[in-house]
Chains A and B, each alone.
Chain A
């Protein structure tokens, strides 16, 4: 892995059209780096929750669990990738699963770049200035959504409308996956309980 690989994510966030094109056709992307970015993002969100200034931090710090925080970043990320892949295979998308992971991963970079300094900044502001904090946070988020949009459009070679529709549908599919997951979980739980009861019954009858 050369230095280019580390510099490329920063190139992508400033020049997304060119960047995602290179990612797809010039093989400039790297899945490992995308995964690292996702974990950095998880770390950032944990740091933000824990260390953001009191005036903007409405979390109960006594109940903060770093592992629980993963479900707000890592889980939605993979859900997005799986849902987007399932959908785009049916909708003539040209992107592979690897490319989807890379596009979504690289798109998260602005949120890390903005939120880390912002967490520091939030410790030296008062309530009136907290408007800036929320403003920059939204800037990071809008930037992320923009990159995700351009990324999805480029790797699947979609039109603008189709990209928007696909992204909205992906959100719906994420919901469906979560629903099915819970359903399976609950059914398995019932089956396990049933089998265990039968076993217990046999044990006691002996």
Chain B
């Protein structure tokens, strides 16, 4: 405890005195993480903005309200410039590689109309959710039209149903998943031929008991005029390597705004962190930026990590596989590294990209030493290298002694090595009771074995005490009764 306090003190001294450290002073936002107790604890920045890309700098003309961003497997970045109805492709050097603003459909030039979602397959085929044209367009890698997928056809759709796809993603088998505007049944799944197959991952209807009561006592006519109980629609999705779909919903006070859907459509996201994955835990109850975070995009970063984008407070929250909050960055503003209206997040290796619809620009973030170490620790752990992971966590702790998850990470490695007493100390700092209990049980057994004689003596004494206790109590009672007798 004392060493930890000293470490914390030293970190503060370093942070506030050494202005030569550029990363701490140059960050345009405050970085923090949530402790076990729900307090936001200041933390070194994990990511810092390294460059801002806009249309003018690329020489392709200003972006207009770009809606989506996709990083293909080969590192090419596709920006969906919705207001200009075009796709801008960037290469690894952040230069404009090509611009697709129209394609040949049959014999006519066809264009997009306010498209909102883009996905690029491993082969380079570009899928665009062409929202206002109510279709999904697939282009070949060379930019020619491959096919057009129109509104899904099935009996399950209402008569007035109109197909406005917003975001799309494909799994390895080529199945197409689309989140549509006003589609409350879940994510629309097409098979690889573009034929509607089913809805997946329907959000459960949440009913407010008071509303329900009113609805029960209302007449039919009144009931018709009331708001219907409908599930929430998904507003974004991403697919990980295993074909699980990560989704976000923007409904207020939803306990599970991020979900990970398995092939059956059931949410299997692990929520073993200190708090569920809801973004900010400490929020202002009133004011301009009040209330819980509103997620608008989710990105699978690999190694079980994923980032979600909060459009309300313009922040990116990154979680690991277990649901621990790793780091946060970003805030509203007009500086590089802050956003006006962020709409999409993606990653190129270790770098994070955030698309700002309000500023018509993409901001590239690069990890600091701190962020890189956190990432390394999570990756090593994901790969099963607990010792390498513990080393990275130790480095993280050197930079930020308040980083509680690191204590758990080191504790797990120590526990695996059989150093139970030390592991207990680390789990204590990380407030990890389950593992603490495991380490403690082993440690207790060790102690008992080492001090067998002492323990046995203790047990014998204890048994003797237990045997004499009833006699003691009896004598107490007898005296009490005797007193009563005397008094009577």
Contacts and interface: CB of A to CB of B under 8 A. Distances in A.
Interface of A: 4, 7-8, 10-11, 14-15, 18-19, 22, 26, 28, 54-55, 60, 124, 126-128
Given A54-B433, A126-B441, A26 B476 contact: no
Given A14-B476, A18-B480, 5 more contacts: A4-B483, A7-B479, A7-B480, A11-B476, A11-B477
A26 B487 contact: yes
Contacts of A28: 483, 487
8 contacts: A7-B479, A8-B480, A15-B480, A22-B484, A26-B487, A55-B440, A60-B37, A126-B444
A55 B439 CA distance: 12
B306 interface: no
B473 to A, nearest CB: 7
Nearest to A26: B487
Contact of A55 (B436, B473, B476, B477): B436
Given A22-B484, A54-B428, A126-B440, A15 B477 contact: yes
Interface in B442-488: 444, 473, 476-477, 479-480, 483-484, 487
B142 interface: no
Contacts of B484: 18, 22, 26
Contact of B437 (A18, A22, A55): A55
Given A18-B484, A26-B487, A54 B477 contact: no
A15 B440 CA distance: 40
Interface residues of B, number: 18
A54 B479 contact: no
A128 B444 contact: no
Interface string B307-334: 0000000000000000000000000000
Given A124-B444, A126-B444, A22 B433 contact: no
Contacts of B438: 126
Contact of A127 (B428, B433, B473, B487): B433
Contacts of B476: 7, 10-11, 14
Nearest to B39: A60
Nearest to A14: B477
Contacts of A124: 444
B123 interface: no
Nearest to B424: A54
B92 to A, nearest CB: 48
Given A10-B476, A11-B480, A26-B484, A127 B437 contact: yes
B108 interface: no
B193 interface: no
A128 B437 contact: yes
B242 interface: no
B312 to A, nearest CB: 28
A60 B476 CA distance: 41
B434 interface: yes
A42 B1 CA distance: 27
A8 B436 CA distance: 43
A206 to B, nearest CB: 39
A124 B441 CA distance: 9
Listed from nearest, the 3 A-B pairs whose CB atoms lie closest are A127-B437, A11-B480, A126-B437
B487 A22 contact: yes
Interface in B405-448: 428, 433-434, 436-438, 440-441, 444
B37 A55 contact: no
Contacts of A126: 437-438, 440-441, 444
Nearest to A61: B1
A14 B473 contact: yes
A128 B441 CA distance: 10
A22 B480 CA distance: 10
A14 to B, nearest CB: 7
Which of A11, A15, A28, A124 has the most chain B CB atoms inside 10 A of its CB?
A11
Nearest to A53: B440
A134 to B, nearest CB: 14
